[in-house]
Amino acid sequence: MRVVLPILVSPTVLASRHRPDLCRLGGVTPPADLNIPAAPGIDGAEHIHSGKVRDLYRLAGGPWDGQLLMVASDRISAFDFVLDTTIPGKGEILTRMSSWWFDQLKDLVPNHVLATEVPAEVSGRAVICEELAMFPVECVVRGYLTGSGLLDYRVSGEVCGIALPAGLEDGSRLPEPLFTPATKAAVGDHDENVSYAAVAGEVGDEAAAELRELTMKVYARAEEIARARGIILADTKFEFGQRKDGTTVLADEVLTPDSSRFWPASDWRPGQAQPSYDKQIVRNWLLSAESGWDRASGVRPPALPQAVVDRTRQRYVEAFELLTGLSY
């Protein structure tokens, strides 16, 4: 029997990781200490939610009356803080990259995008999307051992309850890709890795099996495409929801540097941290002596220097152009 979840605010909520009980429509306000700025007004649209990166609106009037407008900002987060500094063009890169991937995957699973013709003030960095009943789980898939999966492995020899061979190290390619789901935490909190059994207990056996199958199919297609372009897709996460007719739909962003680890294949060396096309430059600088910031202090991170902004932007542009073959 298919489990039908309550209608939540939209795919954007998944990106911001709100608890399901806070996701219902009605203008959820994020906690003030997250440093999420007020969303700009858009004619013909009512703002209903903001996450770390995206702002969500409901359209009023016109051909898409009542549908949702998802806008990707240039905000960047690190260590559960939204930074004061933005990365110019990041929102457009994320939106264009997701749109390209949705097109590559459309024969495997439908997606939430209804239209890309959006109000002029958010042109290029927004899509009109359908409202879905979202599954309360991050569908994470790992082809390589790194990040939180590596930490789990070092403690238990397992990742999300899946036993792995001994002797693996940072960056090792796994014997086969693993479905390693995670809970959805409130904005500003950490997601937690969970077992497949926990997902089945939350959404039901049939839905859990479908989520796993779709996740693995999408990863296999994306990994093949990326590898042909000289990029390793080490891991990624997907968000799925249901239409009222029970169809499972791929939602939110997909296969961007914010949701995935992309590594240059030519530089891959297991046993060390891998160069990546994402915001690791930002994390590295914040943890360096140069920043003067103590992660354990609870104090907000400082503004990023222009050199870090420029290098980060360049990595996002490189990822976009290498994967899509398009120019930014």
Q: For the domain that residue 55 is a member of, what is the CATH number?
A: 3.30.200.20
Which of the listed residues 129, 159, 189 is the one where a domain comes to its end? Answer: 129
Does one domain contain both 115 and 199? no
pLDDT higher than 50, residue 10: no
pTM over 0.95: no
Question: Which tokens is 220 given?
Answer: 């296999």
Residue 205 in any domain: the answer is: yes
Q: Which domain holds residue 109?
A: 11-129
In the listed set 219, 248, 267, which residue is the last one of a domain according to the structure? 267
Same domain for 147 and 260, yes or no, is yes
Please check whether residues 169 and 217 belong to one and the same domain: yes
CATH number at 226 reads 3.30.470.20
On whether both 29 and 114 belong to a single domain, the answer is: yes
Residues 27 and 112 in one domain: yes
* Last residue of one domain, picked from the residues 129, 156, 185: 129
Q: Is the pLDDT of residue 2 over 70?
A: no
Asked if pLDDT for residue 83 goes beyond 60, the answer is: yes
Pairing mode, if any, of strands 126-129 and 173-179? unpaired
Three-state DSSP class for residue 7: coil
Q: Is 295 among the domain residues?
A: no
Helix axes 90-105, 205-228, angle to 10 degrees: 110
Residues 120 and 148 in one domain: no
How does pLDDT run across 162-218, given as a tens digit for each residue? 999 999 999 999 999 999 999 876 555 567 888 999 999 999 999 999 999 999 999
pLDDT at 158 over 50: yes
The mean-pLDDT minimum among 30-34, 140-144, 223-227 falls in: 30-34
Domain check: are 41 and 99 in the same one? yes
- Based on the fold, state whether residues 44 and 146 are members of the same structural domain: no
- Are residues 145 and 259 part of one domain? yes
Q: Are 222 and 105 in contact (CB under 8 A)?
A: yes
- The number of distinct structural domains making up the chain is 2
Concatenate the DSSP letters of all residues of 74-89 into one string.
Answer: S--EETTEE-SS--TT
Clarify whether residues 96 and 149 are in a common domain. Answer: no
308 within a domain of the structure (yes/no) = no
- Domain membership of residue 78 (yes or no) is yes
CB 140 within 8 A of CB 181: yes
- Domain membership of residue 151 (yes or no) is yes
